[in-house]
């Protein structure tokens, strides 16, 4: 899961001091954390799906999980939603 130390170092080298069309380049630490969070969320969703299937196989419940899309309601500051 995630990114290796070598990949992270390369990412830092590529990103350091660069400007992208007049905007600052994304923070590699935040990119890494986002990647980790997405992977954890994926594992969580797979676990929930697996448990729902087990409940159905045992005849306890039939759960149909509908994914909800995320929508930003407002920004609290530059980095929080």
Give residue limits of the domains in the chain: 28-67
pLDDT value at residue 49: 92
Q: Give the global pTM.
A: 0.52
d(CA 9, CA 15): 10
The H-assigned helical ranges of 1-81 are 5-15, 28-57
Q: Of 13, 12, 55, which Cα lies nearest the Cα of 32?
A: 12
pLDDT value at residue 54: 96
User: Is residue 60 very low, low, confident or very high in pLDDT (cuts 50, 70, 90)?
Assistant: very high
Q: How far is CA 3 from CA 10, 26, 67, in A?
A: 11, 16, 27
Residue with tokens 């799906």: 49
- Please tell me whether residue 34 adopts helix, strand or coil conformation: helix
């Amino acid at each position: 899961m995630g990114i290796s130390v070598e990949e992270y170092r390369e990412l830092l080298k590529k990103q350091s001091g660069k400007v992208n069309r007049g905007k600052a380049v994304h923070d590699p630490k935040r990119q890494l954390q986002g990647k980790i969070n997405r992977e954890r969320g994926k594992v969580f969703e797979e676990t929930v799906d697996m448990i729902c299937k087990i409940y159905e196989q045992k005849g306890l419940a039939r759960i149909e999980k509908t994914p909800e899309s995320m929508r930003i309601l407002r920004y609290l500051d530059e980095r929080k939603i």
